[in-house]
Amino acid sequence: MTDRPKIGFIGAGLMGHGMAKNLVEAGYELTVLAHRNREPIEDLKSRGAREAADAAAIANGAEVVFLCLPGSPQVEETVFAILAVAGPVTTIIDTSTANPVSTRALAERCEAAGITLVDAPLSRTPKEAWAGNLDIMVGASEAVFARVKPLLDVIGGKVVRVGDCGAGHTMKLLNNFISLGYAALYAEALAIGAKNGITPEVFHSVIGGGRMDCGFYQTFMDYVVGGNPNAHPFALANAHKDMRYLVSLANESGIASHVSSAVKNGFATAEAIGKGSDYLPTLADIVGGLNGISGQKL
């Protein structure tokens, strides 16, 4: 990889927009894939990026391709499209939240084609993506990590190698299991409290600022008691997808998935009743509403 490789970026959505913005502003020659949401694409073009019509066009003009896609099916489709092109791509950096089983299989396919696949999923929010201050969990050999870290430092504030390829996506699922488990706990605790005379405001006055407080709790409660609809812009459908991957990984590993399956089922219920596009803290409304709590929205 040269000091200034040509970069392709596929997936300029909530997180990808800010990441791509930081790469082009750092001086990298950037090509972005056309997207149904034109606003981020037009913004990136105004900053100096070029637009490509499809993944093949990206693969024909880039040495490094970043992916920031909804999940493994989209990642697989895109990687196969890149592999079908005998272009200059040497490295694919997948920042999506994906199934590690799929990731490891894709890495073998890429290696056979002379391309290195790096899984580098993200933590934090679109705000940190815009600021270039994401947490990034990287699955790569030590040599590959050293090679791609200058690129990841452009978009991340905390860049950690967690193991070889597949380890990044594994760590991301563990991270999300903990955070989404918190969401399930908060929602159920609030419902139990509401049935027994404890309002969300009273709940927050005790938990907030105490030992059980954390950044995730604050964004969750910024919706519940603060009424901020965009406090945590992460869709319940994505939460369900991540928990399906985590439970699948547990099953693949022979681990009894008592807690993770229970958390997954809560998000499956939310999506099944048509709330998949709603943001994560609205789980409190859903759990409350399903339990007949007055004022909770379904």
CA distance 213 to 109: 44
Per the CB < 8 A criterion, the answer to whether 239 and 183 are in contact is yes
Q: Which residue is listed with tokens 């300029």?
A: 12
Residue type, 180: L
β-strands 91-94, 64-67: how paired? parallel
CA distance 23 to 129: 11
Q: What burial class does residue 129 get, using C-beta atoms within 10 Å of its C-beta: 0-12 exposed, 13-18 middle, 19+ buried?
A: buried
**For the chain, percent helix, then strand, then coil, each to nearest 5?**
55, 15, 30
Q: Which of 172, 241, 264, 275 is catalytic?
A: 172
Active-site residue flag, 172: yes
Dihedral-angle region of residue 96 (phi above 0 means left; psi in -120 to 50 means alpha; beta otherwise): beta
Enumerate the active-site residues. Answer: 172
